Structure 1
């Protein structure tokens, strides 16, 4: 048996509104907001990167886990905005958390589903008995070319989960996980380029919807469940409209999806996107309820999970700040300071 014993979120304080970005580029913000369903995005501070964000989220996960951190035997960080080209986020996270040196660790990259991939890796290590606890993190300070549509969506944030095998410690049991992967070039960034290229409409039907729907369908089949058996659904949120279209395809009532749709006030935090949707849902879920999460990463693939919430959620969720706590604390930036903080001004 494998489950989540602790979880944590972190969203930076700073925000920039869609109106401010549109003002810079002479665009109509209402057209953009109607198209993507995003009002503002979170912005990492000048001293924040995917490592510091990971540490904040992981610290919150440790508070909820209430375990001996020295017994964490694996640290995996999913990100497409690593602090260093050659130097792992994972080892810096482990050092900052003071978990010792007796652990395995690595960084994982698969666009926006790198975070969910770390959950699967840690679940495998814990389930096999190779490690007692595994720390899975997804964090990004997402990149977007100035003036492009992704600039209105790409944001910063992190989600972290500590997995273990003791049922008495779990706040959510992992019932099953299933993945779908294909070579689909919908979004990419070459090693020497600062900003990714985007396949525009090609990112929809052939990429996001194909993989998200297939992975979700296969997971439901594997666990012998249908939509009515699941209390909450969490889908990757590149915008507000894509996950709601998936819900419509499956006939999922919007009330089962809305708790995870924080994208309107946060944007798409890439590797942390679906993870933050899961933390937001765990913040309100009740014992016995089931949560289905399906991530998506360009390139392309989806990881789907089913979790059953345990009685421990009542005690553990108040031990660290909730996702909405971070969403509600805001400080707005103008475009110039936003560019300064995100390193878009090159001299």
Structure 2
């Protein structure tokens, strides 16, 4: 374990922060015992807000500015009734602590790619997001993920064959496999981190949760490529190399897929709509 007071930064990425004006990061840092000497911030970048937090926390640790940094991707994804997002939207979160000691995986390279792309948005005071339908595919998701993946592989001198696993953002069940095929990855490299068929799209938690599932089975020496995607639009890419430490800590916490399999509870649509406040009592 680590001393919570040594967590010098705590960042939460989400597009469903509970407050418009009141940070979520302070709540988390206080609960962990990391306050008061802790830099906190709430980040937004659609579905890549979680990897934004990871990118920044990792960079601060590498720069020697802090001893430990916490990066979280969390969302209760919104989808309007009857919209294509509704049946795929989910709720979930993943958190990572970055440091220089006792690491289960080390960062070998990072890369970011972004453009101004109006594929998905939600204006102030709107409850549900809007999207450009098929426009969200080729010019948005596929363009940015392929560019980020190719960019980091060129920067690091690697190729798809150098990776044991790869995780892509998972807005639906098809896109990760299609983009993997475009880039030259096979099904066996993608499936361990592919959770959307069990969980749905957790937005900011999507690719970070895929990394947790992959680390559950990864072996020392394995390389993992992680490429997120956030509408607006951009992708963060990371290359991780798993260390011997993974075997020491792997069984200290429940595994991601075990949680999904054992804690599953099905709801009727009416119950779901009520709990998500889609059905409200008239005043």
Rounded to whole Å, the distance in 2 between the matches of 1:346 and 1:73 is 42
- After TM superposition, give the deviation of residue 198 of structure 1 in Å: 1.0
Aligned mates of 2:72, 2:104 — CA distance in 1 = 17
Give 1:181's match in structure 2, choosing from 97, 114, 126: 114
Query: Matches of 1:240 and 1:340 in 2, distance apart?
Result: 26
**Secondary structure, aligned partner of 2:154:** helix
SS in 2 for 1:85: coil
Q: Deviations over 1:45-67 (max 9, x none)?
A: xxxxxxxxxxxxxxxxxxxxx21
Task: Give me the whole-angstrom Cα distance separating, in 1, the residues matched to 2:58 and 2:251.
Answer: 24
User: Where in structure 1 are there 5+ consecutive unaligned residues?
Assistant: 1-65
Question: What are the superposed Cα offsets for residues 142-186 of structure 1, whole Å, 9 maximum, x if unpaired?
Answer: 0000011100101000000000022xx110000010000100000
The equivalent residue for 1:340 is 274
SS of aligned partner of 1:240: coil
What RMSD over aligned residues (CA atoms) do the two structures have, in Å? 0.8
CA–CA distance in structure 1, aligned partners of residues 60 and 278 of structure 2: 39
Number of the residue aligned with 1:127: 62
Q: Which runs of 4+ in 1 moved over 3 A?
A: none
The question of 1:330 aligning with 2:264 is answered yes
Aligned residues: 280
After superposition, where does 1:114-193 map in structure 2 within 5 Å? 114-166=49-101, 169-193=102-126
User: 1:345 deviation in Å?
Assistant: 2.1
Q: Distance in 2 between matches of 1:341 and 1:326?
A: 21
SS of 1:299 mapped into structure 2: coil
Residue 325 of structure 1 deviates from its aligned partner by 2.0
Alignment partner of 1:253 is 2:253: no
Alpha-carbon distance, 1:129 to partner: 1.2
Query: Tell me, what secondary structure is at the counterpart of 2:111?
Result: strand
Q: CA deviation at 1:136?
A: 0.2
The higher relative CO (CA closer than 8 Å, separation ≥ 6) is in 1
CA distance in 2, matches of 1:334, 1:153: 15
Q: TM-score, normalised by structure 2?
A: 0.97
The reply to whether residue 311 of structure 1 matches residue 244 of structure 2 is yes
Q: When the two structures are superposed, what TM-score results if normalisation uses the length of structure 1?
A: 0.80
Which of 58, 63, 80 is residue 15 of structure 2 equivalent to?
A: 80
How far residue 189 of structure 1 moved from its aligned partner, in angstroms, is 0.3
1:334: how far off? 0.8
Distance in 1 between residues matched to 2:222 and 2:28, nearest whole Å: 32
Q: Counterpart of 1:332 in 2: which secondary structure?
A: coil
Gaps of 5+ in 2: none
Distance in 2 (CA, whole Å) between partners of 1:231 and 1:157 is: 25
Please point out which of 110, 126, 132 is paired with 1:199: 132
Q: Give how far 1:123 is off.
A: 1.1
CA distances 1:175-202 after superposition (whole Å, capped 9, x unpaired): 0100001000000000111000011000
Question: 1:93 & 1:124 partners in 2: Cα distance?
Answer: 20
Distance 1:198 1:346 in 2: 25
- Does structure 1 retain, via aligned residues, the 8 Å contact 2:274–2:280? no
Partner of 1:208: 141
Partners in 2 of 1:135 and 1:336 — Cα distance?
Answer: 37
TM superposition shift of 1:346: 2.9
